[in-house]
Amino acid sequence: MGTLNRMSCGLAVGARLRVARVAALFAIPMAAVTALAMLCAPFATAATGTNTTGTNATSANATAAQVAGNPSLVATIAAHLAELKGVRAQFKQTQTLAAMREPLVSTGSLLFYRDRGVVWEIDTPYRTTYVIGDAGVNEVNANGQREKGASAGHSGGAQGVAQVSRMMRAMLGGDLSALYTQFNVDARGTTAHWQMQLTPNQPQLAQSIRSLQMSGGAYLQTLRITLASGDVTQIDFTGSTAVNALTPAERALFGAS
């Protein structure tokens, strides 16, 4: 009996570890959603060369705003963010967790659209899709149908997602108040090569997130999230392209007619 109990205990522990591993791998960290909400849209002027009216002023601001914490660089970033509707990109997410011996890696693509939200399509290690909007988070199966019970619309997390969505739209409209009410911001560089570190200035947020670090140029290239626990998630973005309109299939994902 003792041997059977030990075997049963070992199997149960192994099962819990597998469940924890899967949950950690495919969870969408709120920190990642927050950062994407604020900074995943491209710098339209740098990417397309359009809107030349403000180009000279932007260049001047970028040259001057090279000291740590200078708000003029953040303002310049926000001005660019307000110019384009969305972005598509490929991503590689690497999670380094204290509970796991090896990093957890997932890859896929994302669609960010200012008026709708974010679609995460995970390709490896298996396929699934998450749609993030004002109502919460929905998981979508391979047939394009929302999974029953997958919505965060009636959970405590829904309020956080809705708050992030509002912050996202404010940031994309050039309103920095939502950013500064949640984070202390340290920005360096120019619009061509920038780095930004966000440190929570609200105790409740600081209980979960230690810092967000981002770098990029015309588009966000790297996002590094350090949680209060010490766990680290890094997301690298490649192949970013501007999005001016959604396809019918994408509109359906967001629940639009």
Are the C-beta atoms of 240 and 248 separated by less than 8 Å? no
- Following DSSP, what letter does each residue of 143-206 receive, concatenated? TSPBPTT---TTSHHHHHHHHHHHHHHHHHTT--HHHHHHEEEEEEE-SSSEEEEEEE-SHHHH
d(CA 223, CA 216): 9
- The number of domains in the chain is 1
Residue 173, pLDDT > 90, answer: no
Residue 51, pLDDT > 70, answer: no
Domain assignment present for 203: yes
Domain assignment present for 164: yes
d(CA 212, CA 137): 21
Among 122, 85, 43, 89, smallest CA distance to 241 is for 89
Q: Which amino acid is at 251?
A: R
Q: Which amino acid is at 196?
A: M
What is the torsion angle, in degrees rounded to the nearest 10, for the CA atoms of residue 180, residue 186, residue 188 and residue 190? -10
Q: What is the CATH number of the domain that holds 218?
A: 2.50.20.10
The predicted model scores a pTM of 0.71
Domain assignment present for 8: no
Domain assignment present for 5: no
pLDDT band at 25 (very low <50, low <70, confident <90, very high): very low
Most confident of 21-25, 30-34, 36-40, 213-217: 213-217
Range with the lowest mean pLDDT among 131-135, 141-145, 159-163? 159-163
Structural domain boundaries enclosing 175: 29-253
Domain assignment present for 44: yes
Domain assignment present for 245: yes
Strands 209-216 and 220-227: antiparallel
- Mean pLDDT for the stretch of residues 66-87: 73
Domain assignment present for 45: yes
Residue 23, pLDDT > 60, answer: no
Q: Which residues pair with 184 in a beta bridge?
A: 199
Are the C-beta atoms of 79 and 171 separated by less than 8 Å? no
Domain assignment present for 16: no
**176-200 pLDDT tens trace:** 676 778 888 888 998 888 898 989 8
